[in-house]
Chain A
């Protein structure tokens, strides 16, 4: 029943010839795929490695708890922010996390619509990563305010006893809508994609308790043709819905700066190059996560070199777009003849924060160009390394945009310097802890790779299809 299987599988067979093109290692049949993936979740004993990693991540997360408690208690002054640098680590990290949160939906939605099958093995945890990154990002817009305990209320003013609405002219309001929409849709998308696998887990789970848990989550999936049909439609609809969001979210985030009059912010180039940067950072993070994942859980068969290389290619492409963005900034500054813009770019290159600027150029412009080389592109250690470099680079980019633009704007009398305090760092490291904690929980309790979609890549997909879904 062709309708029952997701996306076309016809030209597989000839594809499985050459090494590099493999999406799945030879010798797998449905059972082996299902086993090797589901056993990660269903195995009785949790491996010691997982415990160690989880403990570490959880420990880091406690830092976040401490940082937030202290912040609420003492005041936003514990951060390094000041006048004129009113935003620091808070917004830097917000944009950084949101950027990371882009790859997931891109992979799942756009590549799905583009029928890119190599997405199959990575989309599941890419989406999970997206959700967790957005969760980390969402922490900042609330807690960076001076009075978080009322921020909620003004932004969603019910009961509106003051007859006063939020200021819809403010990009921060657009942010609220953009991010919440994105989070909602990504969550739905991710969950819908999980349903068939949850059913599989329900069926294979040993203990009654897990059967119930997975059973409730699976919402009574029986894998009937009707189910598959509805599933297909819903999944494609959500994909279509999510696609514009990939572009919109970071565009709106870039408006936070582009609509300001601060030299270094006030640039029309921001939306496209923020989006590119986001995808860039997102794929870097997918690499950072997938490489250890395939190693520790022996998933090399499913996350093959082809996947890694494709991601590297995407990084190369987006990295070049970002580099173009930097060039434009410099060019505009010179071409505009605006003294403030001119000073801004010179100050970036030679001022107190020149170091961060050149480090940024190194990480985001120089480094990715090494991916032109096939040898490096296919070297797992190198990819792992470069994915870190890019993540750091993207963090630096936000630091440069926010801090070096603000610290010297129009009146030299009120110029200043900025440095993150230990509480800035604690909050940052803490969000990383939160992120990792969620990732660990995810790989432990949910299939990190889409079982049923992988099965469609098995050569024998044609005939065995029917029996499998009973």
Chain B
């Protein structure tokens, strides 16, 4: 991606300083903003953020490349006479593997790791190149659904910035040399039974790895194994309080009529999030199977997916949370003191509703809650009699680690008691709490080894940096949220000299040269029953080892003094909430362009984190807010044609300081700010370096999830951030149509009555006759939670380029499907805010405004109602985009597509054209999938079956909100949905007659709740 050398993070502030005064002028007149854009500081800013081409324009090598590519695109376009095709070679196999049919993809079942937990996936492979990741319908954590992070894993595999060789302080070495260097250290440690050996891992669910570690510790009893996961919370600790032992808590949302989230963003995060969205959406779809509409209450601080989809949302400060838990427990008649009385009007009807649905309700506790709160929630669930119904317990899936573990290691290292440190994955130097200067203490260890995908901040401080093999390159195994084990199988030989953690651990044993495959097979051989080979094949084929889900164990809460009320520590100043970033997580995905450019679900920011706050807080800080383009609702900063200019604010916490751009987030409670972890990295790679600010810098080990007593003040500087949706309000237009359950039962067609469609005969042009198929798509706005999985799935399927922060700021992002987000309510009152999500892709209008105006017939109507886009025909007048009322067309203003990096060539979908500069593109309903299905059906002499064609977005959607099919076929699912009374089209009053339609949202508010929370 970007051709920029890594930079140190402090430069981010330096150049903000330069930008600011000009930005002020910029508000007056766009020309001075232009100057701003051209100023050296800003150019640098732009360059660091602009991955694909900007930098190349300047350096001659890049230019030549450009000319070549321009030539190529000209040739592609079949430019005028006498353009001869360049001579191409055919390179057949020498010995063709028998399963491979050239031109037909194969699918393999494996698992992608999400913070250690398995996500079952199917990976599409073209002639041995993995190109696309789908959910595995048989896997409990997926059921066919997927999420943005697993989708983007394919980009990590081909990331040219990955660690490619064994390195020692920057110098290239071989594995043999490492083994040689390891040998003496190992012998020394063997002698002293490993007293000086320490191993640091992330969350481990892999049975094999766990076995290997335990064997190693048995061999070297003095050695220690530490765990560090910056995102880990208090679930296990809470369970220990409640039950005396750590247990895994599972909830079955499909069985829950009332769901209460206590700061638990269960739709967005956690190893089971995809499955939970699926289960939750089951009860939202109002499908014919008659599952009654569920009701979701959310008590949360930072507006997240869960709160956005809640029927009732209570925005509170994190310090209030425990009081609310206690109050709820008390309201349910439990002997618990210390409950707050602030939100009685909200808690009373909630408790009533819970009791009314006793046995069919569930309360979820967020990772950030205190262990006591977790224990209380276990108690509440027990009281509601839902254990075994909507909640169940099992032995812990992951190896138990407690956050203190890192502290102990730190202490030992500081005391020079550690002689050899082996870090398997993770990036502790970057993610360690601010008061645990892990990186410094590490320098006291005489032998430091780091195994990781990237040569990152931790590698920098290690003697040996070992390139890790990507999960798609290596053998391994992992457990899902319910314990189901999957065999992780490689789809491709390691692109670089990578090894898996298994193989590296083997180096410490007496059999150092064991291959990953043997290690994993040996682990499973005794566990797969008599016919191992058969069972092994089955496991590989299914993507999971049947019957490995951990058994449910009944649990009863033992009341202890944890139940006693504590006096909440009240501190002056603001509170600060730390959360892993919704897209780049704890920073591990920082170098993934797809995730960087993926808009954050609620704020729609890209490429960085911000200091989120409420409007009132922003005003009290004197942060510049502007009525969001006079749209009624206010936003942070000043929208400009190049992005939004907003003030930098500095957060001071326990003497530690960090500054980031202020961002007003409607629904965010007052008196508290939210910062996301995972940004401000300085050795992430060319994409992630220097994006955003590093929130770890103020995160103390005592308060990992939220802290009090922070000072926040506006600095003299401002920054330019790239938000994909400046405007917040629907302007009273009926775009997202929603009603309450009462309204729906009273008038099922409420959505259709909001606008009247013109008659079909209004157009001058003769109507199309669709004898064969008529492809259509339906999006259920009640099921859709706005998780963005569809966006990344589409990006992966359709070779959509990344354009970089600067271009996004200019409104040039390329996503074919976007999730529009609108706010309702009074910005001053967080409780009144309602948030709506609406996925928007090409509507494939039957009267498409874009088709008429294209001078070169580059966008035309197909006989099946598709709005075809012909890239090689397009000259780029952009008239079609101007005339598209949905603005779903995307234009290649520059050569966004990376035509040079070899690994990206392997990644691309060979069935989709790689677009060139100056060409319009847009959603095609995944026409390549339609064509494949059509040809297969014809060759087999049958009709295309309903559901045989899944668009990429539909396939990824964990909520099953998107349904594609033939609306001429009355039996098809999509035809049924379009006949639903909730079905409506977007802007149909323009007589565009879109093929993409929506199902209106139906919320299920509790009439007894205080009105304020409706908005």
Contact = CB atoms under 8 A, between A and B. Distances in A.
A adjacent to B, CB under 8 Å = yes
Nearest to B859: A167
A139 interface: no
B30 A413 contact: no
Contacts of A86: 878-879, 881-882, 891
A160 B1009 CA distance: 70
Nearest to A156: B80
Contacts of B890: 83
Contacts of B807: 77
Interface stretch (B340-348, B564-572, B723-731): B723-731
A144 B877 contact: yes
A421 B77 CA distance: 29
Contacts of A81: 878, 893
B849 A261 contact: yes
Contacts of B853: 169-172, 259-260
Interface stretch (A146-154, A226-234, A237-245): A146-154
B820 A87 contact: no
B740 interface: no
B934 to A, nearest CB: 23
A422 B38 contact: yes
Contacts of B812: 77, 82-83
Contacts of A418: 641
Contact of B820 (A176, A411, A419): A411
A352 B629 contact: yes
B523 interface: no
Contacts of A171: 853
A145 B875 contact: yes
B733 A412 contact: yes
Given A145-B918, A166-B856, A150 B875 contact: yes
B990 interface: yes
B825 to A, nearest CB: 16
A173 to B, nearest CB: 5
A421 B37 CA distance: 9
Interface string B987-998: 100100000000
A351 interface: yes
A164 B886 contact: no
A150 B38 contact: no
A259 B852 contact: yes
The residue in A83, A85, A416 that gathers the most chain B C-beta atoms within 10 A of its C-beta is A83
Interface in B865-895: 873-879, 881-883, 885-887, 889-895
Given A75-B917, A145-B918, A339-B732, A152 B80 contact: yes
Contact of A260 (B874, B882, B886, B919): B882
Nearest to B764: A169
A141 to B, nearest CB: 8
Contact of B727 (A76, A83, A170, A412): A412
A171 B79 CA distance: 23
A437 to B, nearest CB: 25
A406 interface: yes
Contact of B30 (A153, A415, A419): A419
A413 B822 contact: yes
Given A86-B891, A150-B74, A166-B857, A412 B730 contact: yes
Contacts of A260: 849, 853, 879, 882-883
A146 B878 contact: yes
B62 to A, nearest CB: 10
Interface string A129-166: 00000000000000011111111111100010110111
A343 interface: yes
B152 interface: no
B855 A170 contact: yes
Contacts, number: 213
Contacts of B895: 75
Contact of A411 (B74, B630, B885): B885
Contacts of B30: 419-420
A17 interface: no
A166 B474 CA distance: 53
A414 interface: yes
A262 interface: yes
Interface string A335-368: 0000100010000001110000000000000000
A155 B855 contact: yes
B811 interface: yes
Contact of B80 (A147, A153, A412): A153
A74 interface: yes
A167 B855 contact: yes
A410 B855 contact: no
A262 B883 contact: yes
B1004 to A, nearest CB: 26
B631 to A, nearest CB: 7
A325 interface: no
B774 to A, nearest CB: 23
Interface residues of A, number: 65
B892 A146 contact: yes
A221 to B, nearest CB: 40
Nearest to A169: B852
B157 to A, nearest CB: 29
A417 interface: yes
Contacts of B77: 147, 149-150
Nearest to B857: A167
A423 to B, nearest CB: 10
A170 B731 contact: no
A147 B73 contact: yes
A170 B887 contact: no
A146 B918 contact: yes
A150 B732 CA distance: 43
A170 B883 contact: no
A80 interface: yes
B622 interface: no
Given A147-B874, A260-B849, A416-B641, A411 B918 contact: no
B856 A410 contact: no
A173 B875 CA distance: 13
Contacts of A256: 879
B885 A146 contact: no
B877 A77 contact: no
A337 to B, nearest CB: 12
Contacts of A223: none
A421 B852 contact: no
Interface string B607-632: 00000000000000000000001110
A173 B852 CA distance: 11
B57 interface: yes
B629 A415 contact: yes
B447 interface: no
Contacts of A170: 852-855, 879
B168 interface: no
B78 interface: yes
A261 B877 contact: no
Nearest to A263: B885
Q: Which of A75, A173, A256, A262 has the most chain B CB atoms inside 10 A of its CB?
A: A75
Nearest to A149: B74
Interface of A: 72-77, 80-87, 144-155, 159, 161-162, 164-167, 169-173, 176, 256, 259-262, 339, 343, 350-352, 406, 408-422
Given A260-B879, A410-B885, 17 more contacts: A76-B893, A77-B812, A82-B641, A83-B812, A83-B887, A87-B879, A166-B857, A167-B856, A259-B852, A260-B883, A261-B849, A352-B630, A410-B990, A411-B840, A414-B886, A415-B727, A416-B726
13 contacts: A74-B57, A75-B895, A77-B812, A81-B878, A82-B812, A152-B80, A170-B853, A173-B855, A410-B733, A411-B887, A412-B731, A413-B820, A417-B641
Give the top 6 A-B pairs by smallest Cβ distance, nearest first.
Answer: A146-B876, A146-B918, A77-B893, A86-B878, A419-B30, A414-B887
